Amino acid sequence: MTDLTFLALATVTVASSILALEARDLVYGAAALGIAFLGMAGLFFLLDASYVGAFQIAVYIGAVVVLILFTVMLVGPQLGEPPLELKRLSLLAAILLSLLLGTAGAVSSASAFPGPDNCGSGCDLVGLSSALINQYGVQLEFLSLVLAAAVIGALTLAKTERKTQ
């Protein structure tokens, strides 16, 4: 049962992430990216990381994909992908990609990491929240400072642009 679910989720994720990069229209690309993120959230649910999965949906699709769509629609339709010139570079990338895929295939055939069936305390919500507050509290505070800085930076960028017009 899990096997089929995993297969479907993995196929959706990989296919839509390829589509995100290769779709001619950027709006379609952004929508495909959103579907890839949804598939990733499903994979998190399969790994018993349901809280992280919920946040994956809320942050990536609720915020990042919406921002991307908004930018694409505002920046306008002149963004058609220009024809590739650097054939050599794309060839390099293709070789790299196939190497990585080969590694993936080789590793997965060995089935080296079975993984425990029952996650138990390792995926416990209470354990996660207490670790987040008690063990990593300082890092959390730093992260919120960085978040505030990023938001202020983005607002400043958008605002100066409006003043110059």
Q: Please, which of residues 136-165 interact with other proteins by CB under 8 A?
A: 136, 139-140, 143, 146-147, 150-151, 153-155, 157-158, 160-161, 165
| Distance, CA of 88 to CA of 101 (rounded, Å) | 20
- What is the smallest separation between the CB atom of 136 and other proteins, expressed in angstroms? 6
Name the residue with tokens 């507050």.
133
- What is the smallest separation between the CB atom of 127 and other proteins, expressed in angstroms? 5
Q: What part of residues 6-45 is at the interface with other proteins (CB under 8 A)? A: 6, 10, 13-14, 17-18, 20-21, 26-31, 33-34, 36-37, 40, 43-44
Q: Which of 8, 24, 42, 71 binds other proteins (CB under 8 A)?
A: 71
Q: Is 165 helix (H, G, I), strand (E, B) or coil?
A: coil
Q: What part of residues 93-132 is at the interface with other proteins (CB under 8 A)? A: 93-94, 96-97, 100-101, 103-105, 107-108, 110-117, 119-125, 127-128, 131-132
Please count the other Cβ atoms lying within 10 Å of the Cβ belonging to residue 3: 7
* Residue 68 interacting with other proteins (CB under 8 A): yes
End-to-end C-alpha distance for the chain, whole angstroms: 58
**Dihedral sign (CA 50, 52, 55, 59):** negative
- What is the smallest separation between the CB atom of 98 and other proteins, expressed in angstroms? 8
Q: Which of 8, 77, 81, 145 binds other proteins (CB under 8 A)?
A: 81
CA dihedral (23, 106, 56, 153) in degrees, to 10, reads -70
| Distance, CA of 32 to CA of 23 (rounded, Å) | 9
